[in-house]
Amino acid sequence: MFDSRHIQTFHEVVRAGSYSAAARALGYTQPAITQQMKALERSVGTPLFIRVGRRMRLTEAGEALARHSAVILESISTARQQMESLTRLRAGKVTVCAFPSAGATLVPEALAELAAEHPGIRVELQEDEPPESLRRVVRGECDITLAFTYPGLREQVPGELVEIPLLEDQLTVLLPTGHPMARRRAVRLEELADERWIAGCLRCRANFLHECAELGFAPEIAFTTDDNLVVQSLVAEGLGVAMVPGLVLSFLVHKKVTGRALDPASRRQVSAYVLREHLEIPATARVLEALRAAAERRVGC
């Protein structure tokens, strides 16, 4: 209904008391001021000024608009400043959803870089596993999600999402430190066919069972947990072995647990996913850059 330029001119006419005084203050010609006020009156559908001799007086509608014009202009100014802060990365909020091992490794490293270079960007964190974490982006519950896919499984990724590959995460086996195979640099999965196993999230467990089936055995799964620290504790107590992502080795806390690579190597793809239109949002794009940089710094990327 309102043109902000007309509101600004109207506000100055009321303050200055005349079209000519407002023209001098704004650097316009008086006819330009007159045309803007006529356009504003057409927009509101009623006169805003009446002439009383040589003076101008506000109508009832003009007085009502005058009471609001300062607030309108202040809101526009505030909005302009906020937009400028967002586009210049002085401010912005980005919600990132990550699976646990990425949340413990890539995300903190990326946030440390952001805090140093763009302290105005605020990042909110969520934790979830794929495929639910992918659905969160589609539903608008987060701006970026970190998820993983396994090459041996048919992975369904919503078509509206853009994938930004980050790294290939090599899978590893966690063994009790005293286990005979802990002395090796790498182990073959089929050599552990008779072990009791600790399985992880649904997608990781599906890949684990798929790889075991490819090698001709069905593992005995003794425990199932999504918590990487619980997995380590169970292995440390000799209650089983586990196939886990290489990222978990970054926060291996138990001295009685040893991680060994698989031979042949088995990997999963770790990527960031975002709606295409969010790539144009400066703060979101900067968080993605920081995540890519954190991934590139990791061994084997």
pLDDT (0 to 100) of residue 81: 61
Chain centroid, CA 271 distance in Å? 13
C-alpha to C-alpha distance for 173 and 242, rounded to whole angstroms? 6
Compare 240 and 25 and report the one with higher pLDDT: 240
C-alpha to C-alpha distance for 223 and 240, rounded to whole angstroms? 8
- In this prediction, residue 66 has a pLDDT band, given cuts at 50, 70 and 90, of confident
Residue 90 pLDDT > 60, yes or no?
no
Mean pLDDT of the chain: 88
- In this prediction, residue 121 has a pLDDT band, given cuts at 50, 70 and 90, of confident
Q: What is the mean pLDDT of residues 186-193?
A: 95
Write out the H or E segment, with its range, that includes residue 285.
Answer: helix 282-296
Structure token digits, residue 32:
């330009």
SS3 content of the chain, % helix, strand, coil (to 5): 50, 25, 30
Choose among 149, 148, 150, 152: nearest CA to 213: 152
Write out the H or E segment, with its range, that includes residue 203.
Answer: helix 202-214
Residue 282 pLDDT > 90, yes or no?
no
Q: How many CA atoms lie within 13 A of 80 on its CB side?
A: 7
Residue 2 pLDDT > 70, yes or no?
no
Instruction: Decide if 61 contacts 44 (C-beta within 8 A).
Output: yes
Chain centroid, CA 173 distance in Å? 31
Kindly state the DSSP code that residue 241 receives in the 8-state scheme.
B
Instruction: Decide if 131 contacts 156 (C-beta within 8 A).
Output: yes
- In this prediction, residue 267 has a pLDDT band, given cuts at 50, 70 and 90, of very high
Average the pLDDT over each of 28-42, 199-213, 223-237 and give the range with the smallest value: 28-42
pLDDT tens digits for 136-168? 999 989 999 999 999 888 778 888 899 999 999
- In this prediction, residue 274 has a pLDDT band, given cuts at 50, 70 and 90, of very high
Instruction: Decide if 184 contacts 267 (C-beta within 8 A).
Output: no
Residue 77 pLDDT > 80, yes or no?
no
Residue 39 pLDDT > 60, yes or no?
yes
- In this prediction, residue 301 has a pLDDT band, given cuts at 50, 70 and 90, of very low
Phi, psi values for residue 101, rounded to 5°: -70, -30
Helix count and strand count (H, E) for the chain: 10, 12
Q: What is the mean pLDDT of residues 24-46?
A: 88
C-alpha to C-alpha distance for 78 and 64, rounded to whole angstroms? 22
pTM of the model: 0.69
Q: Residue for token digits 């005349």?
A: 18
